């Protein structure tokens, strides 16, 4: 197993900072960032008993990562119904969303902070048979201590942007030591594979298979809410601005102003990436003179509504089904873009900005298939939307996007196979050592 002076130093200092974790969680609790009923989970404590049988631990940072593994979890439960899936995340938002999404036999806990007491308490209690990290949430103490117990580990859906690689290469020795502790590393794309190789990931344990988000189940929705909204909209043309970030609301608003001069009844549904920004966004839009209805306040659409602010969580499946064209945010500002397979799987044509480095491989394939269009500012967004909102104009794009997204099932197949192989090997080793029944 690779050694690293940097990792050894981190672990040594980390061992002496046991009080830091409690102070940090107390600060977050006071700021409303931790669940007051469950914050002890962040310190490695829980009242929930460990279920009998094999336990597969999947660690995902937040909402996006947690949603990307829902189909993987469903398939693993289908293949190994005796196994429990423990999914950990670090945010209250993800916990709220997962409460209604996890299947029977899967449960959620908040991830322990990266301190020795918290990680030890977590591992002592849950005793996972297999651990899976999603994307790039690599906490040194958690990885080191899990590997030290002989628990097989997979890094799955690994993704690394050029900027992340530039930062990580300054810690090459530490990163190499962490990556070397994984039994298998499954990367989203060839670029990530190259970056991981340069950072010292063992090439014989690393492969690119695509993104789990390609094989994810389509987003759910309420048929009743779908019909209710279309009835309220009364046949009005609609476009969607999805997962927007600060700075983008100004641009989509400017584009919408150009569009409504030509199509007076046009309605924009605006879904901010972070719903808690709803009040500030609504105030800013109203200052610009827009008639805004806010979903979180129970407001509906009427004939005067120009922008519908859907500042709620977990309803993108509804809006992608309603809107024939969707602008995917995080791409006109340098956030890196968001998952285009969600609208692609639901028949919405895709428009995005130039900054999609988080999903460069996926957007490239969509572009090659004629399934998306790139815009660079509010002017090009307006002209592109004007073109696509013409009758039936977006249909061919939406179909091409659906065809690309439908090929993603094989990614989940590979991931499930890798997990089951590692779990079988772990169980065989346990039986050989007398830890498990034959």
Is 164 found in the same domain as 133? yes
Instruction: Band the pLDDT of 310: cuts 50, 70, 90.
Output: very high
- What pLDDT score does 432 carry? 67
Report whether pLDDT(434) > 70. Answer: no
In a domain, 435, yes or no: no
Unique residue bearing structure tokens 């927007």: 244
In DSSP notation, 264-314 reads TT-EEEEEESSGGGHHHHHHHHHHTT--EEEGGGT----TT--EEE---SS
In a domain, 437, yes or no: no
Q: What is the mean pLDDT of the chain?
A: 91
For residue 202, what are its two tokens?
Answer: 């063992």
Q: How far is CA 431 from the centre of its chain?
A: 36
Number of domains in the chain: 2
- What pLDDT score does 438 carry? 47
Angle in degrees, CA 239, 228, 93, rounded to 5: 70
- What pLDDT score does 436 carry? 54
Going from the C-alpha of 21 to that of each of 16, 37, 291, the distances in angstroms are 11, 17, 46
Is 180 found in the same domain as 324? no
Residues of the chain with pLDDT > 90, as a percent, come to 66
Is 241 found in the same domain as 378? yes
Task: Give backbone dihedrals phi and psi of 246, rounded to 5 degrees, phi first.
Answer: -50, 135
In a domain, 433, yes or no: no
Domain that holds residue 18: 5-210+409-428
- What pLDDT score does 426 carry? 81
Whether the model pTM is above 0.75: no
Residues of the chain with pLDDT > 70, as a percent, come to 96
Unique residue bearing structure tokens 């090659």: 368
Q: Distance between CA atoms of 388 and 385, rounded to whole angstroms?
A: 5
Report whether pLDDT(433) > 80. Answer: no
In a domain, 67, yes or no: yes
Task: Give backbone dihedrals phi and psi of 242, rounded to 5 degrees, phi first.
Answer: -110, 140
Is 332 found in the same domain as 369? yes
Is 235 found in the same domain as 137? no
Going from the C-alpha of 261 to that of each of 248, 258, 264, 386, the distances in angstroms are 21, 6, 6, 11
Report whether pLDDT(282) > 50. Answer: yes
Is 229 found in the same domain as 178? no
Of 206, 76, 90, nearest in space to 137 by CA? 90
What's 301's domain CATH number?
A: 3.40.50.2000
Is 233 found in the same domain as 90? no
Is 178 found in the same domain as 311? no
Q: What is the pLDDT of residues 187-198, one digit of tens each?
A: 998 999 999 999
Give the number of other CB atoms < 10 A from CB of residue 297: 11
Report, in angstroms and rounded to the nearest whole number, the Rg of the chain calculated over CA atoms: 23
- What pLDDT score does 65 carry? 86
Task: Give backbone dihedrals phi and psi of 346, rounded to 5 degrees, phi first.
Answer: -115, 15
Report whether pLDDT(60) > 70. Answer: yes
- What pLDDT score does 212 carry? 84
Q: What is the pLDDT of residues 212-232, one digit of tens each?
A: 877 666 888 999 999 999 999
Mean pLDDT of 2-20: 84
Is 240 found in the same domain as 122? no
In a domain, 438, yes or no: no
- What pLDDT score does 150 carry? 94
- What pLDDT score does 435 carry? 54
Report whether pLDDT(347) > 90. Answer: no
Of 260, 211, 217, 214, nearest in space to 239 by CA? 260
Between 332 and 213, name the one with better pLDDT: 332
Residue 65 catalytic? yes
Between 17 and 402, name the one with better pLDDT: 402
- What pLDDT score does 142 carry? 96
Is 22 found in the same domain as 106? yes
Would strands 372-374 and 349-352 be described as parallel, antiparallel, or unpaired? parallel
What's 129's domain CATH number?
A: 3.40.50.11720
Is 204 found in the same domain as 236? no
In a domain, 39, yes or no: yes
- Which residue out of 34, 41, 65, 248 is catalytically annotated? 65
Give the number of other CB atoms < 10 A from CB of residue 106: 21
Q: What is the pLDDT of residues 248-258, one digit of tens each?
A: 999 999 999 99
Between 67 and 319, name the one with better pLDDT: 319
- What pLDDT score does 133 carry? 96
In a domain, 434, yes or no: no
Is 197 found in the same domain as 269? no
Report whether pLDDT(406) > 80. Answer: no
In a domain, 147, yes or no: yes
Mean pLDDT of 302-314: 95
Q: What is the pLDDT of residues 17-55, one digit of tens each?
A: 778 888 889 999 999 889 999 999 999 999 999 999 999
Q: What is the pLDDT of residues 73-121, one digit of tens each?
A: 989 999 999 999 999 999 888 888 888 788 899 999 999 999 999 999 9
């Amino acid at each position: 197993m690779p050694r690293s002076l940097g990792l050894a130093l981190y672990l040594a200092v980390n061992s002496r900072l046991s009080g830091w974790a409690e102070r940090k969680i107390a600060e977050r609790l006071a700021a409303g960032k931790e669940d007051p009923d469950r914050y002890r989970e962040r310190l490695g404590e829980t009242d929930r008993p460990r279920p009998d049988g094999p336990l597969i631990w999947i660690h995902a940072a937040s909402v996006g990562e947690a949603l990307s593994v829902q189909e993987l979890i469903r398939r693993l439960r289908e293949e190994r119904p005796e196994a429990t899936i423990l999914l950990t995340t670090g945010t209250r938002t993800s916990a709220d969303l997962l409460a209604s999404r996890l299947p029977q036999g899967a449960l959620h806990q908040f991830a322990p902070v990266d301190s020795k007491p918290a990680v030890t308490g977590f591992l002592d209690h849950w005793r996972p048979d297999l651990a899976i990290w999603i994307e790039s949430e690599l906490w040194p103490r958690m990885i080191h201590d899990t590997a030290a117990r002989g628990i097989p580990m997979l890094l799955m859906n690994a993704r690394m942007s050029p900027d992340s690689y530039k930062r990580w290469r300054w810690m090459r020795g530490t990163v190499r030591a962490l990556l070397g502790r994984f039994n298998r590393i499954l990367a989203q794309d060839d670029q990530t594979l190259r970056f991981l190789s340069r950072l010292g990931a063992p090439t014989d344990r690393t492969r690119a298979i695509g993104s789990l988000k390609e094989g994810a189940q389509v987003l759910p929705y309420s048929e009743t809410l779908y019909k209710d909204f279309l009835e309220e909209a009364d046949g009005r043309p609609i476009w969607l601005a999805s997962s927007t970030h600060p700075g983008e609301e100004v641009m989509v608003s400017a584009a919408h102003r150009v569009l409504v001069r030509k199509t007076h009844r046009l309605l924009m549904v605006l879904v901010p990436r972070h719903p808690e920004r709803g009040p500030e966004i609504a105030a800013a839009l109203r200052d610009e003179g827009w008639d805004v209805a806010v979903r979180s306040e129970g407001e509906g659409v009427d004939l005067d509504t120009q922008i519908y602010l859907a500042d709620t969580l977990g309803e993108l499946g509804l809006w992608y089904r309603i809107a024939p064209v969707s602008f995917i945010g995080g791409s006109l500002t340098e956030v890196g873009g968001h998952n285009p397979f969600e609208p692609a799987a639901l028949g919405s044509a895709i428009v995005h900005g130039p900054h999609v480095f988080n999903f460069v491989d996926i957007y490239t394939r969509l572009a090659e298939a004629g399934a998306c269009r790139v815009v660079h500012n509010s002017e090009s967004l307006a002209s592109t939307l004007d073109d696509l909102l013409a009758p039936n104009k977006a249909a061919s794009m939406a179909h091409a996007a659906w065809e690309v997204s439908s090929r993603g099932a094989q990614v989940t197949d590979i991931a499930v196979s890798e997990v089951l192989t590692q779990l079988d090997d772990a169980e065989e080793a346990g039986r050989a050592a007398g830890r498990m029944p034959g």
